[in-house]
Amino acid sequence: MAQPIMKKRIHVYYSGSVQGVGFRFTACRTANSLGLTGWAKNLPDGRVEVVCEGEENPLDTFLRKITSVFQQYIRDADISCGQATGEFDGFDILF
């Protein structure tokens, strides 16, 4: 019998020069291409907050791609992981 696929949630706060560079739109496009759900939003303090749910390998790919594309803009990424809640239908940009 096959094991059920365990989905995870990552919650990331990106800091640096991450606003005004297409960060949220790239996160959305990348998440959608990997079948991930969640959201990204700018915070008043200049950080970008991302919540993303899905299988572990696509989540790892998401983190690698975002870091690769924005490596010159990201100063720090505070990442926490947990169990997925399944509350999202897609990946959205919150305003």
| Structure confidence at residue 14 as a pLDDT band (50, 70, 90) | very high
Q: Exactly one of 9, 29, 32, 42 is catalytic; name it.
A: 42
In the structure encoding, which two tokens stand for residue 46, read together? Answer: 């200049």
- Give alpha helix (H) positions in the chain: 23-33, 56-69
The answer to whether 24 is a known catalytic residue is yes
In 3D space, the residue among 78, 76, 22, 21 whose CA is nearest the CA of residue 51 turns out to be: 78
Question: ∠ at Cα 6 (81, 10), nearest 5°?
Answer: 20
Whole domain around residue 81: which residue ranges?
7-94
Residue 18 forms part of a structural domain: yes
Tally the domains of the chain: 1
The answer to whether 57 is a known catalytic residue is no
Q: Tell me: pLDDT of 1 over 70.
A: no
CATH number for the domain that contains residue 57: 3.30.70.100
Q: Tell me: pLDDT of 3 over 70.
A: no
The pLDDT tens digits of the residues spanning 50-87 come to: 999 999 999 999 999 999 999 999 999 999 999 999 99
Q: Pick left, alpha or beta for residue 18 (phi over 0 → left; psi -120 to 50 → alpha; otherwise beta).
A: alpha
pTM of the full predicted structure?
0.95
Average pLDDT over every residue of 16-39:
98
Q: Exactly one of 9, 24, 47, 75 is catalytic; name it.
A: 24
